[in-house]
Amino acid sequence: MSSIIRVGASTCGLAAGADQVITAISRQIERRQLNAQIQRTGCLGACHREPLVEVLVDGVSVLYGPITPERVPLVLDQHFGTGERGFQSDWIVSRRRDKSDYPFLARQVKVTTQLCGIINPHSLDDYLANGGYQALRQALKYTPEEIIQLIKASNLRGRGGAGFPTGMKWEITRRAQGAPKYIICNADEGDPGAFMDRTMIEGDPHRLLEGMLIGAYAMGATKGYLYVRAEYPLAVKMLREAIAAATAYGVVGKNILGSGMNFEFFIKEGAGAFVCGEETALMHSIEGYRGMPTMRPPYPSEHGLWGLPTNINNVETFASVPSIILNGPTWFASIGTAQSGGTKTFALTGAIKKSGLVEAPIGMPLRELIFEIGGGAKSGREFKAVQLGGPSGGCLPAALLDTRIDYQDLKATGAIMGSGGMVTVDDTTCMVDFARYFLAFTQDESCGKCVPCRVGTRKLLNLLTKITRGRATERDVEHMESLCETVRLGSLCGLGQTAPNPILTTLKYFKDEYMAHVLDHHCPAGVCAMDGGEPFELLASAKISTRAEELA
């Protein structure tokens, strides 16, 4: 029986040097003539310990990280040698196969990411050996209407941000008139600091395809698009490989598994426009037009791609479906809250000790996720705030850390769940500058179609810049609050409607910092240049260098 050496080779692992580590392991295996197999995997989520190497010998697992090429011989000696001096015990992340001895991983509840970092995402056989496509086989035994009822009973809500009930959305598409019907996976992940979709696709691409296939069967769709950012080359490669393998296996194409169902996938690489995360803009991009939003109704479920019924869900929503079919809707619903079943993934970044991808049950308090899983603020600093939902989200202070991660609870604070970006900041961050960073992003990404967003975000950004330069008055702050409401209520799509959220929430919870800039011409965090500096009009948003930008 050969030993297995798993190496996390997702984008985060590769950026940390996983390829060099794999080369070093390969050379050691050859030199020592070991009966060991190297397995490339996706990311376990513990990005802060990459490159991660897991050694499995006779069923016993030890996870190490971060591992460099120089550390490889010392690690392998622990299993295949005498244990040379120089090995450090703090390289060990976990000694258990379930990783229950590492708090960052032990406190998570993994559903959509349960195989990420475990299987070889390039291998269909690995996916099949772990129950892959069994949910599809089981789903095909039900009627489409029964599948929709299962999804409704699970309380699965769309994980793309709005949280619309998935089963209801599928039912509307199922009943809509017109053919062919389309389903689209929105993997246009553009929030600063977000990497949920990328991690799931790179670590377990077949789960996404299986979820989409079940959805297509339920809704009567025959064509599916995967809209993925071109900046995710590894994710795109994984999807192309997975589609080809699934087609050869017979779960994609004509007469799938003898059921009479026909379905084909297409990949559309987005060009990096944040606005294309909005449904109507995304569909226009697929159709070959410039990605710009249009008024709704009509909604895509009834009048979508090329005027035909179209369902749009994100990666995490579709990836939840196989587990619902296999384990039942009651099981899934029991994980979350009464209104929202299941788990939610978060990209935990910023001033945090343990950054990475976290999958937690809906309803978990922010405090538990940030402190017990993430370890709290790094470098001994004081935790100050967390930005939820990216540029569309809101910033919550330490006083609200007992807020549950739930659609309703977060909305009550002025924040939103969003797609899952979670950027933490410590007491070295200026909240005015932090809000300015996100406004610079949304202003730069505005498509310019509607005046409230095109002009309003520019004016908001200029006012924030004026405050950080120490040139603003109290009247400017009042004007900014009023303008936020105008942009929120008057913008055409979600980008403009939510763009003021970082300002509104920082004003709500950190107004004293705004007043310190305005009245005392002083930045409490010592970040802002209170005099001098170039006029903002001369600064491209891409060149803005702020503490907030580093964190995101």
- Residues 83-104: pLDDT tens digits? 667 889 999 999 999 999 999 9
Averaged pLDDT of the chain: 93
Tell me, rounded to whole angstroms, the distance of Cα 446 from its chain centroid.
21
CB atoms within 10 A of CB 359: 24
Q: How confident is the model at residue 541 (pLDDT cuts 50, 70, 90)?
A: very low
pLDDT score of 536: 32
The tens digit of pLDDT for each residue in 139-173 reads 999 999 999 999 999 999 999 877 899 999 999 99
Q: How confident is the model at residue 25 (pLDDT cuts 50, 70, 90)?
A: very high
The tens digit of pLDDT for each residue in 242-252 reads 999 999 999 99
pLDDT score of 81: 83
pLDDT score of 84: 65
pLDDT score of 337: 94
The tens digit of pLDDT for each residue in 257-314 reads 999 999 999 999 999 899 999 999 999 999 999 999 998 889 999 999 999 999 999 9
Q: How confident is the model at residue 1 (pLDDT cuts 50, 70, 90)?
A: low
Tell me, rounded to whole angstroms, the distance of Cα 170 from its chain centroid.
22
Task: Name residue, tokens 């769940």.
Answer: 417
Residue 70 CB partners (closer than 8 Å, separation 6+): none
The pairing of beta strand 421-426 with beta strand 343-350: parallel
> Domain boundaries in the chain?
3-106, 139-335, 343-426, 431-551
The pairing of beta strand 60-64 with beta strand 92-94: antiparallel
pLDDT score of 542: 34
The tens digit of pLDDT for each residue in 315-344 reads 999 999 999 999 999 999 999 999 999 999
The tens digit of pLDDT for each residue in 59-78 reads 899 999 999 999 999 999 99
Interhelix angle 501-509/474-490, rounded to 10 degrees, is 140
The tens digit of pLDDT for each residue in 169-187 reads 999 999 999 999 999 999 9
CATH topology of domain 431-551: de novo design (two linked rop proteins) (1.20.1440)
pLDDT score of 160: 81
The pairing of beta strand 394-397 with beta strand 383-388: antiparallel
391-417 mean pLDDT:
93
CATH topology of domain 3-106: Glutaredoxin (3.40.30)
Options 3.40.50.10470, 3.40.50.11540, 3.40.47.10, 3.30.565.10; CATH for 139-335 is 3.40.50.11540
Q: Please report, to the nearest 10 degrees, the dihedral formed by the alpha carbons of residues 49, 53, 59, 60 taken in order.
A: -50
Cα separation, 454 vs 495, in Å, equals 11
Whether residue 230 is predicted with pLDDT greater than 50 in this model: the reply is: yes
Is-contact 395 385, C-beta < 8 A?
yes
Structure tokens that stand for 196 in this block: 């949920």
Nearest to 219 by CA among 258, 255, 190, 182: 182
Is-contact 350 550, C-beta < 8 A?
no
Residue 181 has phi, psi (to 5 degrees) of -100, 150
Nearest to 522 by CA among 477, 458, 483, 467: 467
412-427 mean pLDDT:
91
Q: Which residue has the higher pLDDT, 390 or 264?
A: 264
**pTM recorded for the entire structure:** 0.93
User: Of all residues in the chain, what percent carry a pLDDT higher than 90?
Assistant: 87
Whether residue 535 is predicted with pLDDT greater than 70 in this model: the reply is: no
343-426: what CATH class? alpha beta
